[in-house]
Amino acid sequence: MRPAAAPRPGLRDTRREDHENNKLSKRLHRLAGQAIADFDMIGEGDRVMVCLSGGKDSFGMLDILLGLQKRAPVRFSIVAVNLDQRQPGFPADVLPTYLQKLGVEYHIETEDTYSTVQRVIPDGKTKCSLCSRLRRGILYRVADELGATRIALGHHRDDILATFFLNIFYGGQLKTMPPKLVSDDGRHVVIRPLAYVEEKDLIRWAEVQQYPIIPCNLCGSQPNLKRAETREMLKLWEKRFPGRLETIFSSLGRVRPSHLMDRTLYDFNTLRSGDDAED
């Protein structure tokens, strides 16, 4: 009997690539599902408004949530929402075309915040802060109009870590983007299903899925240099000390108020010898 012919090199490469892509898909869905479960992000009957900017993170989030929706232990609905801020050059047809092919319910909200930001913020200054505030207010209103019970944002693990250090370096506070929060007015629950997901996996997944990515620099605003510097610092740490970022990220979920200095979180004034020690 003749031995079976060896697979052609090109076929081996394709199989290997398919295997790696399947592993990546499983990892993304597992991590997002774990974050959703850990923080009780989505419950029975929730209507999740997925904020879709046209970047890799929000495309990936929508894709993953649609996958989880099919096998989740609870029933929930999804509506994808994009805010067209009337930035010059914004390809208004890209997202509707993509979402129609995907067969997902969607809503495009059009509001000219671009002109407002351009008028208020001088050229050369960072316009992201005002733009973000305006966008947030509009999305909250749209969530009410659509009957959404959850607002899903595409921030990932690297965003959470960078924000943590930005608040330390420039804000003097220990805080970051939480996986789940209630808005200041108490009316909206914001969730971040990608909280456990690394950006490098989202970059790779966007390449695999070939999302129609829309550039995020259409407004011409100056880059957030502080955030860029912080992210570069984190990349250097991870390169020099592999695993450091995972350790730091894990520490965000293991806080010991008695071993910090915030008197609003721990009653140091009544602490006396003989009290039970805390680890």
Residue ranges of domains in the chain, CATH in brackets: 15-222 (3.40.50.620)
Flag whether pLDDT at 246 surpasses 90.
Answer: yes
Tell me the per-residue pLDDT of 71-81, one tens digit each, with 9 for 90 and over: 999 999 999 99
- Do the annotations mark residue 51 as ligand-binding? no
Any idea which of 25-34, 151-160, 171-180, 216-225 has the lowest mean pLDDT?
A: 216-225
Q: Is-contact 259 203, C-beta < 8 A?
A: no
Give the global pTM.
Answer: 0.89
Q: Can you give the pLDDT at residue 219?
A: 58
Flag whether pLDDT at 276 surpasses 90.
Answer: no
Q: Which of 86, 44, 67, 77 is nearest to 146 (CA)?
A: 77
What is the band of 277 on the pLDDT scale with cuts at 50, 70, 90?
low
Q: In sequence order, which residues have a C-beta less than 8 Å from that of residue 232 and are 6 or more positions away?
A: none
Q: Which of 249, 210, 208 is nearest to 27 (CA)?
A: 208
Q: What are the φ and ψ backbone dihedral angles of 84, each rounded to 5 degrees?
A: -85, 105
Q: Which of 88, 230, 65, 79 is nearest to 144 (CA)?
A: 79
Work out the mean pLDDT of the chain and round it to a whole number. 90
What is the band of 122 on the pLDDT scale with cuts at 50, 70, 90?
confident
- Do the annotations mark residue 216 as ligand-binding? no
- Do the annotations mark residue 128 as ligand-binding? yes
What is the band of 145 on the pLDDT scale with cuts at 50, 70, 90?
very high
Q: Can you give the pLDDT at residue 102?
A: 95
Q: Can you give the pLDDT at residue 279?
A: 59
∠ at Cα 94 (190, 153), nearest 5°?
10
Q: Can you give the pLDDT at residue 155?
A: 97
Q: Which long-range contacts (CB under 8 A, 24 or more apart) does 258-266 make?
A: 260/174, 262/174
Flag whether pLDDT at 224 surpasses 80.
Answer: no
Q: Which of 25, 94, 24 is nearest to 53 (CA)?
A: 94
Sheet holding 180-182, edge to edge: 106-110, 77-84, 47-51, 150-152, 189-191, 180-182
Flag whether pLDDT at 252 surpasses 80.
Answer: yes
Q: Can you give the pLDDT at residue 107?
A: 97
Rounded-to-integer distance, Cα 42 and Cα 53, Å = 21
Q: Can you give the pLDDT at residue 95?
A: 96
Q: Can you give the pLDDT at residue 6?
A: 56
| Bridge pairing between strands 150-152 and 106-110 | unpaired
Flag whether pLDDT at 1 surpasses 60.
Answer: no
